[in-house]
Amino acid sequence: MKNEIVLFTDGDINIEVELSPELETVWLTQKQMGE
């Protein structure tokens, strides 16, 4: 299974999130967490 990149958009905020289904993890940068 491949990692996926998902883009969330809410008004003026765009967040790109890396998903790793086999590890059941989501990776965010510190900047993304602050938004």
| Tokens standing for residue 27 | 């990776």
Task: Look at residue 21 in the predicted model and tell me its pLDDT.
Answer: 66
14 vs 17: CA distance, rounded Å = 10
Cα separations in angstroms, 19 against 8, 24, 34: 12, 8, 18
Mean pLDDT by 10 residues, the chain (35 residues): 64 71 71 73
The verdict on pTM exceeding 0.75 is no
Helix (H) or strand (E) holding 26: strand 25-27
